[in-house]
Amino acid sequence: METDPRRILGYSDVRTAPSATHKAVLMVLKYGLAQKATARTLGVSLIVVRKAVAAYNEGRELGRKGRPPKLSSEQEAELLTQVEKMITEHRSPNRRQLASEVRPVFSSLSTTDPLLTIFLIRLTDCLKRMLYQMLGRMLMPQ
């Protein structure tokens, strides 16, 4: 394994890496350079290198700030299908109803999750507005 950090920085895959975190992951995992030496070479803190390597090992997206998304694209599509079904049945779901119908499909979701709670509240408000608009159009034809 290569141990000279300046030489590793010259490799094409490290040079063309889009960010310092991507370079850190390559230098640590592919070329076996110590995390401390990688941090010193790239001019970033040791914590940045450790977090980047941990994110890569956990399969998370490098450089993404904040909380990772809870739903995959398939799960999000299933949730939207459930909501559309409720709209077509002319039911205005509240937060608990929506969570209880979705919970069997997504066992990892809970109404104690603050992001999900905010999403469900906003979704419920949006659905209620849409239903009131639809009812208003039906009651007052133009």
pLDDT per residue over 50-70, tens digit each?
999 998 888 877 776 666 566
The confidence score (pLDDT) of residue 137 equals 67
Span 33-37, mean pLDDT?
A: 91
Span 86-100, mean pLDDT?
A: 64
- Residue (of 136, 129, 127, 116) closest to 86 by Cα position: 127
- Going by pLDDT thresholds of 50, 70 and 90, the confidence category of residue 76 is confident
- Residue (of 83, 25, 84, 88) closest to 57 by Cα position: 25
> What percent of the chain stands above pLDDT 70?
65
State if pTM tops 0.85: no
Span 59-85, mean pLDDT?
A: 73
Greater confidence (59 vs 141) lies with: 59
pLDDT per residue over 121-135, tens digit each?
777 777 777 777 776
Question: Do 38 and 24 meet the contact criterion of CB atoms below 8 Å apart?
Answer: yes
| Structural domains of the chain ordered from first start | 5-58 (1.10.10), 73-139 (no CATH)
- Going by pLDDT thresholds of 50, 70 and 90, the confidence category of residue 45 is very high
- Residue (of 38, 106, 48) closest to 76 by Cα position: 106
The confidence score (pLDDT) of residue 39 equals 92
- On the question of pLDDT at 108 being above 60, the answer is no
Cα dihedral 49, 51, 53, 58 in deg (nearest 10): -170
The confidence score (pLDDT) of residue 50 equals 93
